[in-house]
Amino acid sequence: MEQLLKDLQGLTGYSQNDAELLRQSAPVTRLWVDELAQAFYDTLYAYPPTQQILGEGQRAEREQTLRAWYLDVVSGEVTPRFWQRQWVVGLVHILRRVGNPYMLAMMSRAQTFFLGKCLEHWPDGRGEQVFGAFKRTTDVIAGLIAEGYFRNYVLAMERVAGFKLALIGRMMDLEVRKMLEEARSGA
């Protein structure tokens, strides 16, 4: 995970300045937590495929989890443990059958919500700076969650099936080449 984190931070432009900016703006941004949780889960419960994943009677618990996550992000307390917790979200998503398309779409919704609140609260340009810090941080988080989902899914399959990762890699290469040929011949 360490190299992945470095790659994501380098490519997104994330820096400790982002954590500091989030920390400085937290007295304002943490006030948005309930509104975000409401909007986030209104969206998920209004969309039938995600409504099925969430199930009935779990909304309050899910909202509490999102609130804790959001407050963690906007606190600016970005430590190795912070990043490790984001990686673990990928494991949780495997268990709950929350695919990466849903996660990425809802991360985009959270970012868009945050942008609107920033521009409303800080119309002088600071809003864009705070949003940029949030966006870079949550883009790194989304990358960790997505890759955590993928790598841990493959690792779980390896453990369950007893295959070695190198063998799975070779089998995947053969199948992907076949799929590419099929896709290209049909185009």
Q: What is the pLDDT of residue 51?
A: 87
Find all residues with CB under 8 Å of 165, minimum gap 6, and list them.
154, 155, 158
Q: The domain 2-162: what is its CATH number?
A: 1.10.490.10
pTM, entire model: 0.89
Q: What is the pLDDT of residue 132?
A: 98
Distance CA 9, CA 18 (A): 11
Distance CA 181, CA 177 (A): 6
Distance CA 39, CA 55 (A): 17
Work out the average pLDDT over 121-140: 96
Q: What is the pLDDT of residue 187?
A: 60
Q: pLDDT of 4-36, one tens digit each?
A: 999 999 999 999 999 999 999 999 999 999 999
159, pLDDT greater than 70: yes
Q: pLDDT of 36-70, one tens digit each?
A: 999 999 999 999 999 888 878 889 999 999 999 99
Work out the average pLDDT over 108-128: 96
Q: Greater confidence, 185 or 168?
A: 185
Task: Look up residue 134 and give its two tokens.
Answer: 């949030």
Q: What is the pLDDT of residue 179?
A: 92
Of all residues in the chain, the percent with pLDDT exceeding 90 is: 71
Of all residues in the chain, the percent with pLDDT exceeding 70 is: 99
Interior/surface letters 135-171, b for 16+ CB within 10 angstroms, e for the rest: bbbbbbbbbbbbbbbebbeeeeeeeeeeeeeeeeeee
Q: Which residue type, as a one-letter code, is found at position 7?
A: D
Distance CA 182, CA 152 (A): 28
